[in-house]
Structure 1
Amino acid sequence: MNFDYDLFVIGGGSGGVRAARVAAQGGAKVALAEEDRYGGTCVIRGCVPKKLMVFASEYAGMVEDAQSYGWDIQPGGFNWETFRGKLYAELDRLEAVYRNILKNNGVETFDQRAKLADAHTVELADGTRKTAKHVLVATGGRPVKPDLPGAELAITSNDIFHLKKLPESILIIGGGYIASEFAGILNGLGVNTTQYYRGAQILRGFDDEARGLVCEEMCQRGVNVHLGTNILEMRKEGDKIWVKATNGEENLFDQVMFATGRAPNSDGLGLENLGVELGRRGQIVVDDYSQTAVPSIYAIGDVTDRVNLTPVAIREGMAFVETVFNGNPTKPDHELIPTAIFTQPEMGTVGLSEEEARDQEPIEVYATSFKPMQQSFAGRSERVLMKLIVSQENRKVLGCHIVAPGAGEMIQLAGIAVKMGATKEDFDRTVAVHPTMSEELVTMKTPTRTG
């Protein structure tokens, strides 16, 4: 059978664009459909704008520190409109880069929604049908709001970049990394920030000691964190939003933001009719090679809800092209992925938490917490944490956890060592870079505890 394309990609985010580009570079005839902006969650409403907001929010503290170092600098006010204008310009630039990547590699693009009509046919919103030998679904995920009275009054992480003006006060509901990152950002920008999380501690799933320090420091910096707290209902009251919490408190906020979870964008794609299996949360079920139950249809990225990180979606896209177009079956490697959480303080992590490792085998824990030189000199009492989890049996470093300024940059490099299977003795043999925070990773001699 003659197909219009070798590959049709649905979704123009990081994973879809990478797969389309690499397949096209290898000589495949490729098309891609995207109903929204090119670049996807990460570039348009996720990692990139968020990190720029993190940078913006950290300058207030830098001015104070500079004064402590002898600089005659006076803090001014933060102008949200100035920042937002520059942010929009940068996102426009990045979107153009993504469009050009596709264009320059000969990928035909359709700026409209697409769904599957059958195993080899894609139907566009205007009714046009295109056939393809292979279809790759890379439609990503979206934030979801809980079902409670007044939920429509709240915003999500998608909306935060489009606020006309910064609120004076905000309530952020959720305890994951998105909720915790935006709590730090808005607090840093001068917004009176409250965070409710129903669980016992924020950042569930990460190392207990590390997330405990992050929460403690967030509170020290002025974020009003309420643990074990959820909301019951909300309603409009004048210009504000009235919120009733499970702890009996009633408060008024200018804005309320839900960061209580994300859902895969698998609705309305025609998947169920074709026999593509969907999981309980709507995720597309795939095998180790990202193939669905329908052999011609593959899926990568957040819509599969495996490891929802941009670089992982890109890796999955590359592995898909290797498998399907290069005749080299490749499984994306989801083991030992280093991750940064851009809370304030920042956290970097790779491998197992102390709790996970302890459940698995006898371990040694090496940990040190201290005040770093730069902040200490400026009179700030912030603490950082460096932590290694080591197997007693084979001495391998099973996990590394860092809470410190620049933790994301540090964990990328520590991640290489852990991925290579470095032992505690390999770390010990490495000469310290002095004076740095990260030298503690190679100078900790005695375990703080074993188990």
Structure 2
Amino acid sequence: MSETEQYDVAIIGAGPAGLAAAHQLHDAGKKVVIIEKYLWGGTCPNYGCDPKKILLGAVEAKEYADFLTGTGIDGKVTINWTDLMARKNQYTDGISQGTEQSLVTSGVDHLAGKATFIDEHTAVVSQDNQVAVHVTATDWIVAVGQRPAELTFPGVELTIDSEQFLSLPSLPDEVVIIGGGFVAIEFATIAAAAGANVTLLVHSDQLLRSFDDEMVDSLMDQLDDRGIHMYFDTEVTELKAVDDQFEATLSFGNTLTAGVVVRAVGRVGNHDTLALDQAQVQFRDEGILVDRYLRTSNAHIYAVGDVAYSPVPKITPVASYEAHHVVQEILGTSHPITYPAMPVVVYGTPKLAKVGVQTGTAAQNGYTVKDIDMTSWYTAYRQGEPASRIRVAIDQAGRLVGATVMSSHADELINYLTTAINQGLTQETVTQQLFAYPSVASDLSYFF
């Protein structure tokens, strides 16, 4: 018979959200346990944002050199995939163990295994289908995140997902990526810069449907310039191994041969692994239903981050923000969650970022939209950047309320614009600030 452990708070999922909540609640005097069935630290540092950006760092260094070739830079820069992957592994290999050690050092109880609810307050934690312990808690936080979505066609088992792409020991000459969202574009630009011939297969008629159409068109021009081939309204109907390659049959009859086929068609929540019905928690395919306090239909179970069905971007900073809110709820400070403006970035080359009001539809809603080509501006010129563009939405009081940026500096610039939106800044208030010149920030007043 397995043992039973009683806690004030039990947390399922040891990603950034779950870990933040565990440490904060422990520091507040709560008896806490955090449960993880895979890698301590979660997706972002182990096989998501962090390793992806390590690969992107090399890509950006190569691009900067390429931009200035013939205007001060001589020679050709190439990416050594094996060495780059070794650098990435040097970072990721210690994440899980280091994260677990931080829990030990902090005195936070933690259990490795799969959690499955058996009633409204209790879950069993098992390893290799052997029950290790029953956990009962007054309050629960579900922060189990998402996993890559599957596809169904003959031979789909021959594809690889995002985690496997980020651990490829070598990069084939031909890479096919199925998808038209964030991950597909990010991987396409990385692989193309590293020397692969890349083809994107998009099942709809456009990329990045949540972004401003005009800015996406500009990004597509840049992807095309980088040698990335794109097929729209296209699906794979069959994939088979041929010698040491893979042959993909497309929905319009053509075939493509590649050394690897990457499945990057979005993500789905891991809530379907928890037996939530046993805990009286309502959910749908898109995630766990939560109210304005991030409570589920069971008032003592909360859901945060990617697994919560809420109308906010599924990104790491939002998950951590929600975790902090739930901690305050459990500690007795109860109020509906409110969100600041939240920047979202596609970490390709160039980057595409957005925040606030959708610039593609802002004019229809009474906002003034400014469309600015920044390619000739000093910030872009000094690095030889071939294309840089921003669209901003301004309200009737002259305040910035939305922006979409395409630039190698988009991730930096969008943070300044997010601050401007959250603080309700106008051109007058921005010009009263002093920024280092020349810098990305020093361009800020020109966007109003």
**Under a length normalisation based on structure 2, what TM-score does the superposition of the two structures give?**
0.91
Q: Residues 66 and 443 (structure 1 numbering): CA distance in 2 closer, same or farther, change over 3 Å?
A: closer
Give the whole-Å Cα distance in 1 for the aligned partners of 2:167 and 2:93.
14
Name the SS of the counterpart of 1:158 in structure 2.
Answer: helix
Alignment of 1:402-417 (within 5 A): 402-417=405-420
Give the whole-Å Cα distance in 1 for the aligned partners of 2:51 and 2:335.
32
Give 1:85 deviation, angstroms.
2.3
5+ residue gaps in structure 1?
Answer: 446-451
Give the whole-Å Cα distance in 2 for the aligned partners of 1:101 and 1:136.
20
Q: Determine if contact 1:338/1:348 at 8 Å carries over to the other structure.
A: yes
Q: Match of 1:115, as an amino acid?
A: T
Q: Determine if contact 1:21/1:101 at 8 Å carries over to the other structure.
A: no
Q: Paired residue for 1:133?
A: 138
Give the whole-Å Cα distance in 1 for the aligned partners of 2:120 and 2:328.
21
Alignment of 1:227-306 (within 5 A): 227-281=232-286, 283-306=287-310
Give 1:404 deviation, angstroms.
0.9
Q: Match of 1:188, as an amino acid?
A: A
Name the SS of the counterpart of 2:141 in structure 1.
Answer: strand
Alignment of 1:352-367 (within 5 A): 352-359=357-364, 361-367=365-371
Q: Deviations over 1:129-156 (max 9, x none)?
A: 1211111111110001221222111111
Alignment of 1:52-451 (within 5 A): 52-65=54-67, 67-75=69-77, 77-125=78-126, 126-127=130-131, 128-281=133-286, 283-306=287-310, 307-325=313-331, 327-359=332-364, 361-372=365-376, 373=378, 376=381, 382-391=386-395, 393-427=396-430, 435-436=438-439, 439-443=442-446
Q: Determine if contact 1:16/1:138 at 8 Å carries over to the other structure.
A: yes
Name the SS of the counterpart of 1:356 in structure 2.
Answer: coil
Q: Residues 400 and 428 (structure 1 numbering): CA distance in 2 closer, same or farther, change over 3 Å?
A: farther
Name the SS of the counterpart of 1:119 in structure 2.
Answer: coil
Deviates more, 1:295-304 or 1:332-341: 332-341
Q: Match of 2:38, as an amino acid?
A: D
Q: Determine if contact 1:384/1:403 at 8 Å carries over to the other structure.
A: yes
Q: Paired residue for 1:46?
A: 48
Deviates more, 1:135-144 or 1:205-214: 205-214
**Under a length normalisation based on structure 1, what TM-score does the superposition of the two structures give?**
0.90
Give the whole-Å Cα distance in 2 for the aligned partners of 1:406 and 1:124.
45
Identity of aligned residues (%): 27
Give the whole-Å Cα distance in 1 for the aligned partners of 2:181 and 2:152.
19
Q: Determine if contact 1:208/1:353 at 8 Å carries over to the other structure.
A: no
Q: Determine if contact 2:117/2:278 at 8 Å carries over to the other structure.
A: no
Give the whole-Å Cα distance in 1 for the aligned partners of 2:95 and 2:279.
35
Give 1:348 deviation, angstroms.
2.1
Name the SS of the counterpart of 2:239 in structure 1.
Answer: strand
Report the RMSD for the aligned CA atoms in angstroms: 2.3
Give the whole-Å Cα distance in 2 for the aligned partners of 1:62 and 1:224.
22
Give the whole-Å Cα distance in 2 for the aligned partners of 1:381 and 1:164.
31
Q: Deviations over 1:339-374 (max 9, x none)?
A: 222111012211112233234x21211121142557
Q: Match of 2:29, as an amino acid?
A: G
Q: Paired residue for 2:20?
A: 18
5+ residue gaps in structure 2?
Answer: none
Q: Determine if contact 1:235/1:241 at 8 Å carries over to the other structure.
A: yes
Q: Determine if contact 2:11/2:22 at 8 Å carries over to the other structure.
A: yes
Deviates more, 1:5-14 or 1:202-211: 202-211
Q: Deviations over 1:71-108 (max 9, x none)?
A: 45453x53322222221221133334422332232111
Q: Residues 74 and 268 (structure 1 numbering): CA distance in 2 closer, same or farther, change over 3 Å?
A: closer
Q: Match of 2:113, as an amino acid?
A: Q
